[in-house]
Amino acid sequence: MRIIPAIDIIDGKCVRLSKGDYDTKKIYNENPLEIAKQFEFHGIQYLHLVDLDGAKSKHIVNNKVLESIATRTNLKIDFGGGLKTDEDLHIAFESGAHQITGGSIAVKDKETFLGWLKKYGPQKIILGADAKNEKVAVAGWLEESDEELIPFVQSYQKNGIKYIICTDISKDGMLVGPSFELYEKILSKTMKTETSITGSGVEDKEVIGVNLIASGGISSFEELPRLKEIGCEATIIGKAIYENRISLKQLENYILGNV
């Protein structure tokens, strides 16, 4: 299971929110690049970078932070927050994003999001399926849509989406543990068996599903094996790192297989 630390950006600074509430902002570092370099030093290869200013402004804002981290580390960055237009996407990829995450756009402008999926391919576009009470939330989690989470995910799976980040907003930043049951439900509803006949006439069955990235509520290292056992392809960890609930050394050992 891939380990993906999170850096959320407001005013160019590394912050964390609780339940997506901007009024709960806590600044952890004035220099996101410094944090990113620490992650890389401990063997981490991936980064989830969120432009919270962009999510609120509905257009990309902190692309210079993205560019700084992308050019000065080897981290593979998935970038999200405020990506609404083809130009936003162009700026994100030009600034060094390895993947982008679209959340609100996937709800409010499906045609544009599907156009991105077709143009860049399913390895580059991540569906942000963030929810509260199994309803998809949008606009930096400031609004709740009428979209039911599971059908929303299934509809994009049919259109070729491969990577999905799902955050249970009620748990995000609260250090109360992830939504194991929700992730089990998503995976059970998106797994399908494809049957093919080999050249020798033998029936070959392959189980196909989405790459589900768990996010929100991670509070201890012991939760990681369970997320892997459920079938999560990756997990995003934020406040648990910044509040020293999970050490970078623990994550380094996990990545190296020394646990």
Q: Are 36 and 7 in contact (CB under 8 A)?
A: yes
Q: Give the whole-angstrom CA distance, residue 154 versus residue 136.
A: 13
Per-residue confidence at 195, pLDDT binned at 50, 70, 90?
A: low
Q: Are 233 and 1 in contact (CB under 8 A)?
A: yes
Tokens of 141: 């989690």
pLDDT at position 135: 86
Residue bearing the bigger pLDDT, 174 or 26? 26
Q: Give the whole-angstrom CA distance, residue 89 versus residue 105.
A: 12
Mean pLDDT along residues 147-172: 91
Question: What's 73's DSSP letter?
Answer: S
pLDDT at position 24: 87
8 is catalytic: yes
Question: Could you tell me the fold of the domain covering 2-256?
Answer: TIM Barrel (3.20.20)
Dump pLDDT digits (tens) for 56-114.
898 999 999 999 999 999 999 999 998 999 999 999 999 999 999 998 899 999 999 99
130 is catalytic: yes
pLDDT at position 198: 62
Average pLDDT value over all residues in the chain: 90
Dump pLDDT digits (tens) for 199-240.
666 565 555 789 999 998 899 999 999 999 999 999 999 999
Phi (first) and psi of residue 253, to 5 degrees: -65, -40
pLDDT at position 175: 81
End-to-end CA distance of the chain: 13
Q: Which of 8, 51, 88, 172 does the annotation list as catalytic?
A: 8
Q: Which of 51, 78, 88, 130 does the annotation list as catalytic?
A: 130
pLDDT at position 145: 73
Residue bearing the bigger pLDDT, 220 or 168? 220
Mean pLDDT along residues 27-34: 94
- Full 3-state SS string of 1-62: CEEEEEEEEECCEEEEEECCEEEEEEEEECCHHHHHHHHHHCCCCEEEEEEHHHHHHCCCCC
